[in-house]
Structures are given as C-alpha cells and as structure tokens.
Amino acid sequence: MGILMEQVVDLNIMEDANVITGHEHLKDTTVEWVSVMEVPVENFVRKHEFVLTTGIGCTDDPILFEKFVKDVIHSGASALTVATGRHILDVPDRVTELAESYNFILIEIPWKVRFSDIIQEVIDAINQENEWERLQAEELRQRLTSCVLSGGSLQDILSLLHQRIKIPVAISDQRQMIRANFDFDSEVINVLNGHADGKIEKLDEPEVPLDEHPLYHHLDQYVVNDQTCYELSIFSNDKKQGYLLFNPNDTKDLSWFTMNALEHGLTACALYFLTENAIETTEIRLKDNFLLDLAKEKQELTTKIISKGELLGYDLTKSYACMVGDFKSKNMEEHENERSVQSSLHSLNYYVQKEITHASQQLQRVTMSTFDEGEVIIFIETDDFAYQENVNHFLDMVERRLHDQLTHLDLAWGIGFHRGSGNVFYESYQQARTALDIHTRQNGFGERTFFEETRVNRILMLMTKEDEVVKQVQELLQPLIEYDHKRNTDLIQTFLTYQKFKGNVSQTARALNLHRQSLLYRLRNIEKLTQLSLVDADDSFLLEFSVRLWMLNKFKD
C-alpha cells in the first residue's frame, strides 16, 4: 500500500524539485513512507521509503556523500531527495553517475523548502491512497457477498472481481473442472488440472512482492508451459471446494489492494459453494445443533451421545476447554437493511471459522466450533493443568490473523474448563458465558476472561439477591452517582484507581493524568459525599464493596 513516486513529484510542495536521475521509474516506484536521514545510514532506512537529506556531515567530503547515497540505494529506498544550497551546494557528478548506474531516483530541492512540509504532504497523500483502497476493497466485499446471496453465479463473481483487479481469473471445483473463466487461458487451466499435456512446475515459495499479506500463506505458484499463474484453494466448512486461479502479467500487479480483492473473491466463492452444496449444509446444521445441545442442554455424556458425536466426526472422550466469543464490527452497524447485515455476518463467520481451523491445524489440537445468535462457541482439546496456556496460544493465533484481515473487528472472550465427569460441556460453556458476561458488565466489551478470574465478582453477585444489601449500597453511592452526573466528573473511577494503587497519591495522579492537588480535592469530595474516611480500613472496604456491586450493573436506579 502506498503511492507512486510520480504522485510525490507532482505534489505542490515539490514544484521546485529537480529530478536528476530515474525519470523513467517514477511511474513504477512505490513509496510507503517518508523520512529524513543523515550519515550514517546503517539499517535505519527501510524498503520503499522516500528519503530526504541535507547532506550534513558530508559538506567537504564528496566521497563520504557518495558512500551515503550508495547505502541509501542498497537499503531499498524508493528515492533520495537532497536539499542543496547549504551543506551540499550541488549534487556531485560522481553521485549522479552512481544513481544512474542503479536506475535510482535522485532528486534535488532548494534549501528553502522545509522538510516538514514535504513529510506532511507525502504522508497525507499516502493516507488518502490507503483509505481509498480500503473503501474500494470494502465495497467490493459487500458487492461480492450480495452477489452470492442474491443468487449470482460464479461467472458473476469473477466479473465483479475482474472489474477491480484487471487480472485474468478462473474457478475450478474440487474435481478440477472449470466452473467460471474471465480472460484466463483455458489451455493453462487444463494442463494445471491434468486434462491436457504440458509442463508444470510448482514453486516452493510464491514470488510476490507482499509476503506479509495473510493471503500469501495460502498461495501456490505454478509455471505452466512458461506461463506463471497462481492458485488459491477455496475452503468451506473445513473442506476444499475448488480453486481460484489468477494470472497477472507481472508480479507488480499484485498490490495490497489486489491481494485484498482476491481474498474477498475467495470468500465469495466459498459462500457460493456453501449455498450450492445442500448435503453439506445439512451436515453443518446437524453439527451446529449437536454442539449447541452439548453446550446449552444439561445432559450426561452418555454412550449414545458419544456415538452420535463420532458420526459427526467429534471425539467427545477428550478433555475440552470452552471459549465463548463475541465480536463487534463497525461495518455491520453501517448496513442499512437486514439482508446486508446477514450478508456481513455470514462473511464474518467465514473469516472466524477459517482462522479457527488454521490455528487448530497449526497447534495440532482438535476443535469443535459453532455460531449462535452472534456469538462463537469453541471447544478446544486441552491439557488439564495447562489449559490457560493452550487457550491463550490458540486465541493469539486466531486474533492476530483476524485483525490483519478485519481491522475494524473487536473481540471479547470468556473461557471455562470443567474438570471431572458429568455435564462437562454444559458446565464449561456456563463458566465461559458467565466469565464473558461479568467482564462485559464491569469493564465493557473486549479482552479475555477466564472463569477462575471472576471469583470475587461471582460472590458479589450473590450479595445482590439480598434486598437490604441493595438498599444500603444504593443509599451509599447515590450522592457520588448524582455528583458525577451533574458535574461531568468520575469520582467512582477515581476511587477505583486510588484503591488499585493502594492509596498511593502520586501513582494515582499519574494514572489519571491529574495534578496532585486536583486528585486530593476529588478524594476529599468522595469522603464528604459518602461520609466515609478513605484512610479507615473498614470505610475503604465498604466503599469498594459497594462500587464493585454497582459496577456489575445489577442495580443502577
């Protein structure tokens, strides 16, 4: 993601710039960042970086300046701009010859032009380009998903995809039969699928410029009769349904936007095959219902249930921890109708399921997962006394890859693990659901919560069943709540932070970004409104006990 050097040179701030070398590469050189660099370069310049320099330190040493330029070139920088007129009066001929020999873009600019202005305009241009690409990719994702849900064909999917990426694309099913084609050489596909004779070579690692893109790890590259093509496997419900093929003229065509578009196309193809395969859909429904019954119905793990699980591919004799996940997406909130919301939910579920499968394969642990009313329920095979480590490792892999693909996705998890016999799946689910609910009520949406971490809050929740306790807490906290509401302050949070740092005023003030005197004023207000002393152990305990109950959202009125 970024902009071309041609766009950089065309910026208003660069109107006095003089491109000395590399004119022919302005249209095909990408800039992803901009920086100011002086000697020494070492490893401080990264690939695709637009470098600015004053040449300070090289004023009377052209050989040193030549070495500096050479180091910048070898770092993989996109271009180098030299401010002339102060430390470097003119770019030496030997430096110009060096840049020409490497086909490197070398620019000079008058000393009067401020680097800060250049940096600001370049970064603004990069950000605008990145945002445009994100919006275009999101629009394509929605159109592809809507196409599938409205009964569109695989050819319709490829048509939408080809409009955006301008690269020949095709789809083969799991039997390696061509199902759709848009400008892709059919002979190449037939050779690749084994339906025609030809020379095929599979590369060990794909040669693409963006090996950090999540799609890279799912990519296969082939050379078929001297033509290079790429293949992505289409998975749906943990089964390979077919292949998405694409044939760029040059690897430079595989930009970040193109890779994102291909990934959305892959998702649309997976959804298409899912809706097409009625038998598989029935199997999915059976598995989902089975897992939901395991999680939400209180039942003994009988031989009959274990056998039914085996028929669906589940081994219920292993030890499993339960994870209940909830996710929020800003994109889903922006949809205007129920159909588009459902479309986005299906796409989101696909991404989550794909990463669950990937993580379980990488960790070689059995997982069982389902979605129900916006939440994901996962049972993962685990070791009895290392289950937290197993779960954290698994969720780290899932979340890292999800955040790379869905930047606006927020996740929250509750985790439970019931040791022993009996209703193990039901009890583990109840623990996970309780942990998620308690954390959300008290701290808001997000993060992971293990059931063991909620002991205090579970005890406090029992206290809320006592009417007299509720009444006393309401009477104690009402003045604080009313004061915070009227004055737009947060005395309750101030108190909790004060307790967190065990009454240390300095640490509390730093944490709240308050002046020490402002904090002391707030603490005096808390004491005045509650008629309690914060230095008295009993009073402090009573106030913290009350606040914790209130934070559980059991009684706000």
Tell me the pLDDT tens digit for each residue of 445-459. 777 888 887 777 666
Range of the domain at 511: 465-554
Kindly indicate the confidence band of residue 385, based on its pLDDT and cuts at 50, 70 and 90: confident
Per-residue pLDDT at 83: 93
Q: Position 20: which residue type?
A: I
H/E stretch holding 409: strand 409-416
One domain, residues 219 and 365 = no
Q: How many Å apart are CA 71 and CA 162, to the nearest integer? A: 40
Q: Assess if residue 262 is contained within a domain.
A: yes
One domain, residues 184 and 39 = no
One domain, residues 157 and 261 = yes
One domain, residues 422 and 507 = no
- Predicted TM-score (pTM) of the model is 0.42
Write the pLDDT tens digit of every residue in 139-156.
898 999 898 888 889 999
CATH of the domain at 381: 3.30.70.270
Kindly indicate the confidence band of residue 335, based on its pLDDT and cuts at 50, 70 and 90: very low
The domain boundary, picked from 277, 306, 334, lies at: 277
Kindly indicate the confidence band of residue 550, based on its pLDDT and cuts at 50, 70 and 90: confident
Kindly indicate the confidence band of residue 346, based on its pLDDT and cuts at 50, 70 and 90: low
Kindly indicate the confidence band of residue 488, based on its pLDDT and cuts at 50, 70 and 90: confident
Q: Assess if residue 107 is contained within a domain.
A: yes
Number of Cβ within 10 Å of residue 250's Cβ equals 9
**What average pLDDT does this structure show over 428-435?**
88
Per-residue pLDDT at 332: 47
Q: In this model, does residue 334 exceed pLDDT 50?
A: no
Q: What are phi and psi of 218, to 5 degrees?
A: -110, 10
Report which of residues 207 and 30 the model is more confident about. 30
CATH of the domain at 549: 1.10.10.2840
One domain, residues 314 and 395 = yes
Q: Assess if residue 195 is contained within a domain.
A: yes
Per-residue pLDDT at 463: 63
CATH of the domain at 22: 3.40.1390.20
Kindly indicate the confidence band of residue 1, based on its pLDDT and cuts at 50, 70 and 90: low
Q: Assess if residue 506 is contained within a domain.
A: yes
The domain boundary, picked from 452, 484, 519, lies at: 452
Query: Which residues partner with 371 through β-bridges?
Result: 376
Which among 28, 251, 255 has a CA at the least distance from the CA of 137?
255
* Edge-to-edge strand list for the sheet holding 239-246: 178-182, 169-173, 239-246, 227-236, 219-224, 200-202
One domain, residues 315 and 447 = yes
One domain, residues 308 and 400 = yes
Which among 125, 112, 135 has a CA at the least distance from the CA of 10?
125
One domain, residues 40 and 120 = yes
Q: Assess if residue 291 is contained within a domain.
A: no
Report which of residues 130 and 99 the model is more confident about. 99
Alpha helices for 453-530 (secondary structure H) = 455-463, 467-487, 491-500, 505-512, 516-530
Report which of residues 542 and 392 the model is more confident about. 392
Q: Assess if residue 268 is contained within a domain.
A: yes
Q: Residue 28: which residues within 8 A CB-CB, separation 6 or more?
A: 4, 252
| Strand residues in 183-268 grouped as ranges (E) | 200-202, 219-224, 227-236, 239-246
For 473-477, 513-517, 519-523, 548-552, which range has the lowest pLDDT when averaged over its residues? Answer: 548-552
Per-residue pLDDT at 339: 46
Per-residue pLDDT at 9: 92
Report which of residues 365 and 214 the model is more confident about. 365
One domain, residues 209 and 244 = yes
What is the percentage of the chain residues whose pLDDT exceeds 70?
Answer: 90
Q: Give the count of domains, the chain.
A: 4
Per-residue pLDDT at 34: 93
Q: In this model, does residue 531 exceed pLDDT 90?
A: no
Q: Position 96: which residue type?
A: T
Q: In this model, does residue 390 exceed pLDDT 80?
A: yes
Write the pLDDT tens digit of every residue in 155-178.
999 999 999 888 999 999 888 888
Per-residue pLDDT at 73: 93
In eight-state DSSP terms, residue 113 is S
Q: Assess if residue 144 is contained within a domain.
A: no
Q: How many Å apart are CA 35 and CA 39, to the nearest integer? A: 13
**What average pLDDT does this structure show over 90-96?**
91
One domain, residues 473 and 507 = yes
Decide: residue 18, CB within 10 A, 0-12 exposed, 13-18 middle, 19+ buried: middle
One domain, residues 173 and 316 = no
**What average pLDDT does this structure show over 463-486?**
76
Kindly indicate the confidence band of residue 352, based on its pLDDT and cuts at 50, 70 and 90: confident
CATH of the domain at 228: 3.30.450.40
Q: How many Å apart are CA 378 and CA 371, to the nearest integer? A: 9
Q: Assess if residue 142 is contained within a domain.
A: no
Per-residue pLDDT at 279: 58
One domain, residues 423 and 480 = no
Q: Residue 310: which residues within 8 A CB-CB, separation 6 or more?
A: 316
